[in-house]
Structure formats: C-alpha cells, structure tokens
Chain A
Amino acid sequence: GEDVEQSLFLSVREGDSSVINCTYTDSSSTYLYWYKQEPGAGLQLLTYIFSNMDMKQDQRLTVLLNKKDKHLSLRIADTQTGDSAIYFCAEKTGGGNKLTFGTGTQLKVEL
C-alpha cells in the first residue's frame, strides 16, 4: 500500500542547513518529489529524483534517496527566512501522474 510519512515540524536558525526527512512504503515508486507550500497557496515543485538515483543537487537543495530503506531527504543549505513553509514529499507510482503526498513538514526559520 501507499503510506508516506514525514516529521511534523522542524525549526532551524537562519544560515544553518535544514534536513527534512520522508519515508515511504511503496517500493515501486518511479519518481519522488519535494514540494513547498506557503500559507494559503498551492504547491511549488522544488525538485524531484528518479528512483534509480541516489542523489541530486540543485543549487541550495540536495535530495538523497535510500531506496533500500525507502527513505528520502531534502537538505536546504544556508536556510533563509523565506524558506519557512510546509514541505511535502510525494511519490509517483505506476505510469500515470497520480501522486501520493506525505504528511508535510512545517519548517520554521528563526533569526
């Protein structure tokens, strides 16, 4: 079955790195995504990783995938106050574009 879990809350100081974790159960996931949601807004795609990759880096964002443990993480380097938001991981299984979202992690960046 599909079940995607995240820790609910993360607080970091500005300039530090943030690491947001996600675990999933469906081993047939093809792509895994990270989305950002600001208050009252829709979802903004941050990055994604194909299931046969271990790591992907995109500017301040680094995605790590441990397929064996079904664990995905998002590292944000030099976290800024503008990074404060809810972050959702999502997995895609099968051939369509249907996504299963994680429970979301609220990131709070303090000065």
Chain B
Amino acid sequence: GAVVSQHPSWVICKSGTSVKIECRSLDFQATTMFWYRQFPKQSLMLMATSNEGSKATYEQGVEKDKFLINHASLTLSTLTVTSAHPEDSSFYICSASGNGVQSLHFGNGTRLTVT
C-alpha cells in the first residue's frame, strides 16, 4: 500500500534554532500534502495545505513566516520551524494526497522538543 515517510521521527533542539521536517510519498505522487500539529491528548489541528509548485495555504492563526512549507516536488514537502521556542514543542504529522478519493495517507509523525 501507499506509504508516507516522515523524518525525523523525533528531534530535540535549542530555543532559537530552526528545524526541518520532511514528508515523502514513497510510491505515489502527492499533489497535495497537509501538515498537522497535535498537542498531548488533543486532536490534530490542520496547520497548512501544501500544493506542489505553489505557495502553501495556511490556516487561520498559523504564522507562515514561522512555519515555512516547501513542496518542491510531487514526492516531498518540508516544514521548517524557524526560531523555535519551547511552545513550539509538539507532535507534527503530515499527510499526502494522491489521485483518487480515498488516497490520503499519514506519516508517523515527528516529536519536536524545544529546550
């Protein structure tokens, strides 16, 4: 079946540094990728929709200059958390959408801890 690879699975960084998270579709072309954020014991909140070759669409309240999204190819989208702060610590999950109504596949998430 379709697989979405998310890397790294966990990362610890110091406050003020930037962290890049990759989301790759391994066996299909993902025209659209979604980035979610999940706080402990809470639901997934959509941060942005990433479309290959165009600018990402951010949800209300999400700072586009802080959470940089690049979707340069049909198999790769990246989320960069710039100048990370402890409040950015969270679980970030991507999903990738190919063709077909039901083709939405999730990565295994990235646990970000900012110290």
Interface residues of A (CB under 8 A from B): 31, 35, 40-45, 48, 88, 96-104, 106
Contact = CB atoms under 8 A, between A and B. Distances in A.
Contacts of B6: 42
B3 to A, nearest CB: 11
16 contacts: A40-B111, A41-B108, A41-B109, A43-B95, A44-B106, A45-B105, A96-B32, A97-B32, A97-B103, A97-B104, A98-B34, A98-B46, A99-B104, A101-B43, A104-B41, A104-B43
Contacts of B104: 45, 97, 99
B60 interface: no
A42 B34 contact: no
Contacts of A97: 32, 34, 95, 97, 103-104
B42 interface: yes
Contacts of B111: 40
B25 interface: no
B109 A40 contact: yes
A104 B46 CA distance: 15
A108 to B, nearest CB: 13
A44 B6 CA distance: 14
Nearest to A88: B43
Nearest to B91: A40
A101 to B, nearest CB: 5
A9 B111 CA distance: 24
Interface string B35-56: 0000001111010010000000
Contacts of B109: 40-42
Contacts of B107: 42
Contacts of B44: 43, 88, 101
B102 A42 contact: no
Nearest to A31: B101
B112 interface: no
A42 B43 contact: no
Contacts of A44: 106
Contacts of A98: 34, 46, 49
